[in-house]
Amino acid sequence: MAPERPDPLGDMTPDEFRRHGRDLVDWIAAYLNQDDRYPVLSRSRPGEIRAQLPQGPPASGAPFDAIFADFERILLPGITHWNHPGFFAYFAISGSAPGVLAELLIGALNVQAMLWRTSPAATELEEVALGWLRQLLGLPPAFEGVIYDTASVASLHALAAAREAAVPDVRVEGLAGRDLPPCRVYASEQAHSSIDKAVMTLGLGQRALRRIAVDDKFRMRPDALRAAVAEDRAAGRKPVAVVATVGTTSTTSIDPVGHIADVCEAERIWLHVDAAYAGAAALVPETAGVMDGSARADSVVTNPHKWLFTPFDLSAFYSRRMDLVRAAFALTPDYLSTPEAGQVKNLMDTGVQLGRRFRALKLWAVLRYFGSAGLQARLAEHMRLARLFAEWVDASGQFERLAPVPLSVVCFRARPPGYADGAGGGNDDRLDELNARVLEKVNASGEVFLSHTRIDGRYALRLAVGHIRTRERHVARAWELLQAAATEPRRNSI
């Protein structure tokens, strides 16, 4: 049917929008409830999607039906389905249905919340929704919150505030050409690469990041931190910040934040807690202790887009020193000044970014729809599934676990008989190759998608449970596929 275009200079007509909108919502409802229609990991080859699209822009418009047909035919094969219950890679995430509906409203309103007056509800809802989440995390009211897109950006802002506190006039004078001691930031060997990127971006240089040794459970050793700070002070270097991780990326280990806070308080160093993945576990009574000690930090980040069913992207940043974040970034040109300044918060003051999406709406919708009890039940189930999978691994003569399972991620590898651990010798290389092959094979099934990491030099498979529709049968299927894949390559390789 030809599209109605009554106003050649206007937008899509309301009728047309209604029709496509309904079709789209129907499509999404079916999409979110199908497990087997698409392979989880895209089978697209490099360049394949691009080659199917015109290289130049279209001169004349096309009906939305045609656009959607291209989406289904060309683009969907190039999608890796993060919103699939067989997604076990990296940190499994969910764009839950209430969050998706909120995204639709966010798109419709198209709010740009740089200033309070550019949408008072966006600024004030952000405060309220982050206040709720703060309480769920067990952080005191002294922590003010702001939403960024990602944890990487949140940690960058935390370290910018720490730099602001540690280096006089850095905002105006910068770092170059000044008589300043080298700065140091401390994080464990297991901390996320976003911390490297933050120190690089802030002009401290990657060498400024000192990696602190971990214990046998991959947690930062406070004694090693204390020694590193003492050594740096003795050498005339300037400790600026410590980043503790609650839920490290490889193994989800949890740094002893309380002991690290002791060091930071004694040494007067900014403490930032990266709880990007594991902060959510604070909602579950059995794992509420994950945030122990974080109330003593200067700043904390957690990602509702990771394990709190909020569509990507939404990262919640909290600081008891938001004045320093503002000192680092607030800048109001005349064209952005408002009469209510002083009575309200303007989100543009809390960071690099001027424009802000109305992300708070989706966090609010998710928190309201599920309630803390609903969220807690779902997170607890993910942890149960991870423990169950770990039990299967432990009971198997073919696989072994490579790290504890404090939350919802299991690190393990295939080690069939005949592949004795060479403790770093040549045998480990063969095991690494075997496991890389197992991973490729399992992922090629299209039913599940797992990723890998390296633990103590060993190639490790990683199963992360975190999608809202993942059930025991999906985890069981992953286990079946893994067992089959681990048996076959061995025949070929010996």
**Residues interacting with ligand PLP, by CB under 6 A?**
91, 150-152, 192, 194, 245, 247-249, 274, 276-277, 303, 315
Closest distance of CB 133 from ligand PLP, Å: 15
- Alpha-carbon distance of 486 to 479, in angstroms, equals 10
Q: Are the C-beta atoms of 290 and 275 separated by less than 8 Å?
A: yes
DSSP 281: G
* Rg, the chain, Cα only: 25
Closest CA to 86 of 30, 139, 29, 36: 36
We find the least distance from the C-beta atom of residue 252 to ligand PLP, in angstroms, to be 9
Q: How far is the CB of 304 from ligand PLP (least distance, A)?
A: 10
Query: What are 407's two structure tokens?
Result: 């939350």
Q: Which is nearer to ligand PLP, 192 or 219 (CB)?
A: 192
Provide the CA 38 distance to its chain's centre, in angstroms. Answer: 24
3 state DSSP class of 35: coil
Q: Which is nearer to ligand PLP, 192 or 321 (CB)?
A: 192
Q: Which is nearer to ligand PLP, 240 or 407 (CB)?
A: 407
* End-to-end Cα separation, the chain, in angstroms: 62
Q: Fill in the amino acid letter for 142.
A: A
Beta-carbon contacts of 398 under 8 Å, excluding residues fewer than 6 positions away, are 414, 415, 416, 417, 483, 486, 487
Instruction: Give the residue with the Cβ less far from ligand PLP, 151 or 410.
Output: 151
Burial of 268 (0-12, 13-18, 19+ CB in 10 A): exposed
Q: Which two tokens stand for residue 31?
A: 């999409």
Q: Give the list of residues 6+ apart from residue 429 with CB closer than 8 angstroms, or none.
A: none
Distances (CA, A) of 434 to 143, 204, 399, 414, 464: 47, 40, 12, 8, 20
Of residues 134 and 462, the one with the C-beta less far from ligand PLP: 462
Q: Is residue 386 within 8 Å of residue 457, measured between CB atoms?
A: no
Q: Is 158 in contact with 244 (CB distance < 8 Å)?
A: no
359-374 residues labelled b (16+ CB within 10 A) or e (exposed): bbbbbbbbbebbeeee
State the nearest-atom distance from the C-beta of 111 to ligand PLP, in Å: 22
Q: CB nearer to ligand PLP: give 145 or 489.
A: 145
Q: Could you tell me which residues come within 8 angstroms of residue 211 by beta carbon, excluding any fewer than 6 positions away?
A: 187, 188, 189, 191
- Pair of tokens at residue 49: 């999607």
Residue 285 beta carbon to ligand PLP: minimum distance, rounded to whole angstroms: 23
94/150 with CB nearer ligand PLP: 150
Q: Is 229 helix (H, G, I), strand (E, B) or coil?
A: helix
> Hey, what are 455's tokens?
């633990």
CB of 161 or CB of 464, closer to ligand PLP: 464
CA–CA distance, 412 with 167 (Å, rounded to integer): 44
Q: How far is the CB of 152 from ligand PLP (least distance, A)?
A: 3
Instruction: Report in angstroms how near the CB of residue 18 gets to ligand PLP at its nearest.
Output: 35
Fill in the amino acid letter for 224.
Answer: A
As measured in angstroms, the least distance from the Cβ of 305 to ligand PLP is 7
Shortest separation between residue 130's beta carbon and ligand PLP, angstroms: 16
For ligand PLP, which is the closer residue by CB, 315 or 483?
315
What phi and psi, each to the nearest 5 degrees, are found at residue 205?
90, 140
Cβ(449)–Cβ(464) below 8 Å = no
Report the residue number, 110 or 193, with the smaller CB distance to ligand PLP: 193
- The C-alpha atoms of residue 140 and residue 131 are separated, in whole angstroms, by 10
- Nearest distance in Å: CB 278, ligand PLP: 8
Cβ closest to ligand PLP, residue 170 vs residue 464: 464
Give the residue with the Cβ less far from ligand PLP, 249 or 483: 249
CB of 80 to ligand PLP, least distance (A): 15
In angstroms, give the least distance from the CB of 367 to ligand PLP. Answer: 19
